[in-house]
Chain A
């Protein structure tokens, strides 16, 4: 089955700096890669996703890059703000008809310091 590794487990940045979180996956058939943000005591929420036919996607201060050859993808947050502090999860999936399971990474605790 799919295995997703995520690094780092914790990341502390100064407000205004950039943050980068990296993930690798093992199943070359995976073709959908979402990123979720989980605030304390809440369920994760999708913040950005990318499909395997695209190398990069941006949404305001957030971007995701995908390298299919190397089987890794990254989340980039620019101009970080205190409200960006949360746990971030990457995930990988095959877009098949049944189940549509996501395999999640172990999470990155991001802390944005003033």
Chain B
């Protein structure tokens, strides 16, 4: 069966520090991968998505970047965190070219930038 792992679960970082959040998927090949941010009381904002190794599409201009160094690994990074980067970050995957676009989410990372 397929599983998605996301870590760390919680993270407290000072303003100006770097960030690296990792997401890995098991049990499937060549998945579509996604990074979302969920601000308190708001919906899910798509930040990045990837359809293959090294292929990253950015949805919104921001202080963050994403990379996909391996087929089932998706990394969210920042060189210098801002206060506004605080939020709940979710990684998700889906099976490409299917009749349905079901996305499976990880448990999320709660990031607090102080």
Contacts and interface: CB of A to CB of B under 8 A. Distances in A.
A43 B100 contact: no
A95 B34 CA distance: 16
Interface in A77-113: 89, 93, 95, 97-107
Given A43-B107, A43-B108, A100-B96, A32 B44 contact: no
Given A43-B90, A100-B94, A107 B102 contact: no
A44 B43 contact: no
A114 to B, nearest CB: 25
A101 B46 CA distance: 8
A22 interface: no
Interface residues of B, number: 27
Given A34-B102, A43-B92, A106-B42, A97 B108 contact: no
A46 B6 CA distance: 18
Nearest to B108: A43
B105 interface: yes
A43 B106 contact: yes
Given A43-B90, A43-B106, A45-B105, A101 B49 contact: yes
A45 B90 CA distance: 12
Contacts of A32: 100-101
B12 interface: no
A42 B92 CA distance: 12
A89 B105 contact: no
A104 B43 contact: yes
Given A43-B92, A44-B105, A100 B44 contact: no
B103 A102 contact: yes
Contact of B97 (A44, A97, A103): A97
A21 to B, nearest CB: 13
Interface of B: 6, 32, 34, 42-44, 46, 49, 51, 57, 59, 90, 92, 94, 96-108
Interface of A: 6, 32, 34, 36, 41-46, 49, 51, 89, 93, 95, 97-107
